[in-house]
Amino acid sequence: MNDLVLKKPGILIVDDEPAIRHLFEKAMKRAGYDCQATENGEQALAIMSQRNFDVVISDIDMPGMTGIELSQKILETYSSDVIVMTGKVKSYHYDEMINLGASDFVEKPFSVQELILRVNRVLRERHLKKEAKKSHEDLKQAYIDSIHRLVMASEFKDEDTGDHIVRIGEYSRLMAQKLGLSTKEIELIYYAAPMHDVGKIGIPDKIMLKPGKLTEEEFETMKTHTIIGAKLLSRSKSGILKMAKEIALCHHEKYNGQGYPNQLLGEEIPVSGRIVAIADTFDALTSKRPYKDPYPPEMALDIIRNERGKHFDPLITDIFMKYFSEFLQIRETIGAFEEVNLENFMLSERDKESIQT
């Protein structure tokens, strides 16, 4: 036996005429809907703040808040569809409602059967939109998962697990939020940032896994992972891969113009690259690598603070320091966070020079 209980569609009727309101409410309930009715826009919004409705059917010409004003507030705040009705049709009403995004417009007088047909149509379209959105999200998730699995191929050379790429996405999203970027930009950087080091797949293992300091020639080879990554991610129409290419190419640029591969200066570096520069550095410092043990979080913070205006964007550095506890929480939550024995702790050969200068 199927224990699933199908929820009745919720309908809210808003009309200042009691006879019409009661007639439609009764008819909707008889048609199998979970229906509620109220006499004005203010009451409708109060009711909607307490429960969800699939469709709101509202008269336009009402005392106080008009149906147009009510519809605008509903469509701005809630996910409900709106059907508007009036007995005093004016052409501007129709234009306004279409521009607002109303799902239907009906002229009084009309039959109860017609209204039910209209509601059924709107509900069908609503269901199809939800299914399309779900399919889109499923496809998007499969797309992201596939990319992350490919990125893992390069990360396994240098990381114990894939937790690093997950943390980079989380750090970058948090920083983008604190910077006040748009919802779209935040989403793009969240999905793109984990691909920052995909170019390492083209770096020889003898360099990637070398426990000591790299020679000048080896370091020049290591730097090419930015260009390799950008080439791998190029020629895509995907917004995520376009940003991933930008990050892969620019996340080792320095604010003072002494980074690589193109020695970009200050805000010539895309904001995505400036964000991932700090995210990647913090995670690398606090993680175990073939050439070093993890650094204590406070030491990592000091290193980043000292690079303010040199390696890192001053504003982004200030935000990182202000919300350091939130970044640290991500680091401690995702993947094993190794305690450091400070008595025996030593800087790695690779980091001594950069930290002391």
Where does residue 249 rank: exposed (0-12), middle (13-18), buried (19+ CB within 10 A)? buried
Strand 104-107: give its sheet, edge to edge. 34-38, 10-14, 55-59, 81-86, 104-107
Average pLDDT of the residues in 323-337: 90
pLDDT at 154: 60
Residue 354 has pLDDT above 60, yes or no: no
Residue 312 has pLDDT above 90, yes or no: yes
Total tally of structural domains belonging to the chain:
2
Closest CA to 167 of 194, 196, 198: 194
What is the spatial distance between Cα 134 and Cα 314, in angstroms, rounded to a whole number? 41
Residue 3 has pLDDT above 50, yes or no: no
Adjacent-strand bridge partners of 81: 55
345 or 109: which leads in pLDDT = 109
pLDDT category of residue 353 using cuts at 50, 70 and 90 = very low
Same-domain status, 206 and 339? yes
In a domain, 346, yes or no: yes
Same-domain status, 100 and 187? no
Same-domain status, 171 and 113? no
Average pLDDT of the residues in 77-96: 76
Least trusted range by pLDDT, from 140-154, 158-172, 298-312: 140-154
Residue 4 has pLDDT above 60, yes or no: no
Same-domain status, 212 and 339? yes
Same-domain status, 166 and 287? yes
Least trusted range by pLDDT, from 27-36, 133-142, 190-199, 241-250: 133-142
119, 55 in Cβ contact below 8 A? Answer: yes
Closest CA to 85 of 65, 59, 64: 59
Residue 187 has pLDDT above 60, yes or no: yes
In a domain, 260, yes or no: yes
Average pLDDT of the residues in 122-150: 80
Looking up residue 107, the CATH number of its domain turns out to be 3.40.50.2300
Residue 173 has pLDDT above 90, yes or no: yes
Residue 246 has pLDDT above 70, yes or no: yes
Where does residue 326 rank: exposed (0-12), middle (13-18), buried (19+ CB within 10 A)? middle
Q: Left if phi > 0, otherwise alpha if psi is -120 to 50, otherwise beta: which for 254?
A: beta
Distances (CA, A) of 331 to 152, 285, 334: 19, 11, 6
Same-domain status, 121 and 173? no
In a domain, 137, yes or no: no
Same-domain status, 125 and 197? no
Question: CA Rg, the chain, in Å?
Answer: 29
Same-domain status, 83 and 166? no
Same-domain status, 294 and 183? yes
Domain-ending residue, one of 112, 130, 148: 130
State the SS3 of the chain: CCCCCCCCCEEEEECCCHHHHHHHHHHHHHCCCEEEEECCHHHHHHHHCCCCCCEEEEECCCCCCCHHHHHHHHHHHCCCEEEEEECCCCHHHHHHHHHHCCCEEEECCCCHHHHHHHHHHHHHHHHHHHHHHHHHHHHHHHHHHHHHHHHHHHHCCCCCCCHHHHHHHHHHHHHHHHCCCCHHHHHHHHHHHHHCCHHHHHCCHHHHCCCCCCCHHHHHHHHCHHHHHHHHCCCCCCHHHHHHHHHHHHCCCCCCCCCCCCCCCHHHCCHHHHHHHHHHHHHHHCCCECCECCCCHHHHHHHHHHCECCCECHHHHHHHHHCHHHHHHHHHHCCCCCCCCCCCCCCCHHHHHHHHC
Query: Domain residues for 60?
Result: 10-130
Output the CA torsion sign for 74, 76, 80, 81: positive
97 or 201: which leads in pLDDT = 201
pLDDT at 350: 56
Average pLDDT of the residues in 217-234: 94
Same-domain status, 347 and 299? yes
pLDDT at 137: 80
pLDDT category of residue 315 using cuts at 50, 70 and 90 = very high
What is the spatial distance between Cα 224 and Cα 293, in angstroms, rounded to a whole number? 25
Looking up residue 247, the CATH number of its domain turns out to be 1.10.3210.10
97 or 168: which leads in pLDDT = 168
Average pLDDT of the residues in 262-286: 96
Same-domain status, 123 and 20? yes
Residue 226 has pLDDT above 70, yes or no: yes
pLDDT at 251: 97
Average pLDDT of the residues in 163-175: 93
Domain-ending residue, one of 61, 95, 130: 130
Same-domain status, 100 and 213? no
Domain-ending residue, one of 114, 130, 146: 130
Average pLDDT of the residues in 152-181: 81
Helical packing angle, 314-322 and 271-285, nearest 10°: 50
pLDDT digits (tens, 9 = 90+) for 31-71: 999 999 999 999 999 999 999 999 999 998 899 999 989 99
The share of the chain scoring above pLDDT 70, in percent, equals 85
Average pLDDT, the chain: 86
Structure tokens at 351: 């980091």
